[in-house]
Amino acid sequence: MNTDSLTLGFIGYGNMAQAMAQGLVDAGVLPGGRIVACAAHYDRLVERTAQLGVRPMHSGTEVAAAADLVILAVKPEQVAQVCEPIRHELADPDRMVLSVVGGMTLEDYADLLEEGTHLICAIPNTPISVGQGVLVTQEDDTLTDQQRELFTQVFDPVAMIERLPRELVSVGTTIAGCAPAYTAMYMEALADAGVEHGLPRQAAYRLAARMVEGTGALYLATGTNPGAMKDAVCSPGGTTIKGVASLEKHGFRGAVIEAIDAVERGD
């Protein structure tokens, strides 16, 4: 099978599932008509799927029957209830299951799914909606080689796929999945400072957003150590180093590290 004949199904169609569908459709990976979805509230689902042409369905059973790739996108406390009635359908050898449920690993599904189910666990972040996502994927899975290749074909156009050992998936997900919120706060703070000094609000947002995008792209293109990237902008006695010194004085890096620590501790 390839993406030309693939039907993808979401069980759960909240913000993350919608972001994934948006990215896949906009990137031309799949047309909306080859994506199906179910959710707890059917009327709301119909509204949410209309823009992309995603086909709304009434139950997980209908989604599992229609889809070659089933994406579990519900809350952790809902997983057992969702999986129980479709265990057999999900174990079809020609079907692939992707869990994007936060905190759920391959081992957590051992008693929830039938032996032989082809399962991979991963967590995307919201920039997947514009084809600039990260998909943190558990290194271990039960896919066949052909399914693993298909998984890459589907998601590589919209996300950087980062495969990590089970014990590192949580922190990888925190950095990739939670930090967009922190980065948005940073962009907002930069824009506020720009506005304080006379920049129009939208111009300040555009400058901050492109700077973040470009800095990330520069690292990915060159692999230059971020410390060296910082040093390259800091001329002796120049303006940038004064700002860096102020950030250090106010604990900028320590605050970022503590934010990640807080998530990992579950504060």
Any binding-site annotation on 75?
A: yes
Quick one: which of 15, 14, 16, 26 has its CA closest to 53? 26
Give residues with Cβ within 8 angstroms of 203, minimum separation 6. Answer: 194
Q: Whose CA is closest to 119, among 158, 152, 72?
A: 72
- Which residue type occupies 210? R
Q: Outline which parts of the chain fall under CATH 3.40.50.720.
A: 3-164
177 is in an annotated binding site: no
Residue with tokens 């990888």: 172
Q: Is 42 annotated as a binding residue?
A: no
CATH number of 173-265: 1.10.3730.10
Q: Is 70 annotated as a binding residue?
A: no
13 is in an annotated binding site: yes
> Residue 204 annotated as binding?
no
Per-residue pLDDT 10s for the chain (267 aa) are: 678 889 999 999 999 999 999 999 999 999 999 999 999 999 999 999 999 999 999 999 999 999 999 999 999 999 999 999 999 999 999 999 999 999 899 999 999 999 999 999 999 999 999 999 999 999 999 999 999 999 999 999 999 999 999 999 999 999 999 999 999 999 999 999 999 999 999 999 999 999 999 999 999 999 999 999 999 999 999 999 999 999 999 999 999 999 999 999 987
Question: In the chain, which segments carry CATH 1.10.3730.10?
Answer: 173-265
Q: Confirm or reject CATH 3.40.50.300 for domain 3-164, answering yes or no.
A: no
CA neighbor of 17 nearest in space, from 40, 32, 44, 37: 37
Residue 74 known to bind ligand: yes
Reported pTM: 0.90
Helix (H, G, I), strand (E, B) or coil at 121: strand
Q: Tell me the residue type at 101.
A: V
How far apart (Å, rounded) are the C-alpha atoms in residues 60 and 87?
11
15 is in an annotated binding site: yes
